[in-house]
Amino acid sequence: MADHRLRLGVNIDHVATVRNARGGAVPDPVRAAVLAQEAGADGITAHLREDRRHIVDADIDALMAQLSVPLNFEMAATEEMQKIALRHKPHAVCIVPEKREERTTEGGLEVAREENKLAHYIAPLREAGCRVSIFIAADQKQIEAAHRIGAEVIELHTGAYCDAHAEGDFATRDRELEALREMSAFAHSLGLEVHAGHGLTYDTVQPIAAFPEVRELNIGHFLIGEAIFAGLTPAIQEMRRLMDDARI
């Protein structure tokens, strides 16, 4: 059995996507976050994008005020986002790459190429007491760079593994899974806390949850979609059950 209980961070961005489709106040992502917390989420994740396409600044204010579980604040490494994070001082800050034209976070952060810049960027966040996490591909070079810049956590991008599964390309899926397995162990051996996420579903969560080094999964889109059919609480509870079963 893996030594630590695996935490589930529920990403509520896409409740805001639906709200924003009509420009009004419902459905309220903060209400979803509070419900997720009651359903057993260990944390809430929200990505404030530069274009505010889903989560907006007022949502972050409300999440900080109303949550009792930690907020994992996802953001690009921009000056604007650094100011917002330093004002709120969330439990965790996850630095993600962000491109205006992408539909979702497509790849991991290029840490190795931007090492000095990122080291300076995250220093004040760490001093403010935020746990700094870096969202990266399962790539040894990127993990080593994340370690050198002083990140405490890395979140491994599971998107390629999940996409290959959805496309029925099981050879690629298994190769991606193997890379994630090896790089979880490698990051852990450097003393980094390992998280994972992106694209995870009931079908893909268990092999990742079974990695003993992984401490937290961040899951959003699938859970919010599943909530349409089953309700948010049962969807979270089922994900939690699958995660726990994989851990035994």
**Any idea which residues carry the catalytic annotation?**
47, 74, 198
Q: Which one of 34-42, 57-65, 202-210, 216-224 is the stretch in contact with ligand PXP (CB under 6 A)?
A: 216-224
Q: Is 4 left (phi over 0), alpha (psi -120 to 50) or beta?
A: beta
104 annotated to bind ligand:
yes
Give me the phi and psi of 202, to 5 degrees please.
-55, -35
Which residue among 15, 96, 177, 235 contacts ligand PXP (CB under 6 A)? Answer: 96
72 annotated to bind ligand:
no
Q: Does 136 bind ligand PXP (CB under 6 A)?
A: no
Q: Which one of 16-24, 34-42, 212-220, 229-237 is the stretch in contact with ligand PXP (CB under 6 A)?
A: 212-220
Q: Does 142 bind ligand PXP (CB under 6 A)?
A: no
Q: Does 198 bind ligand PXP (CB under 6 A)?
A: yes
> Binding residues for ligand PXP, how many (CB under 6 A)?
19
Q: Does 181 bind ligand PXP (CB under 6 A)?
A: no
Q: Which is nearer to ligand PXP, 35 or 55 (CB)?
A: 55
- Show contacts with ligand PXP in window 145-174 (CB under 6 A): 155
Q: Does 47 bind ligand PXP (CB under 6 A)?
A: yes
Contacts of 111 (CB under 8 A, 6+ apart): 118, 134, 136, 142, 145, 146, 149
Q: Which is nearer to ligand PXP, 59 or 74 (CB)?
A: 74
Q: Does 11 bind ligand PXP (CB under 6 A)?
A: yes
List binding-site positions: 11, 13-14, 22, 49, 54, 104, 199, 220-221
Contacting positions for ligand PXP (CB under 6 A): 11, 13, 47, 74, 94, 96, 104-105, 135, 155, 197-200, 218-222
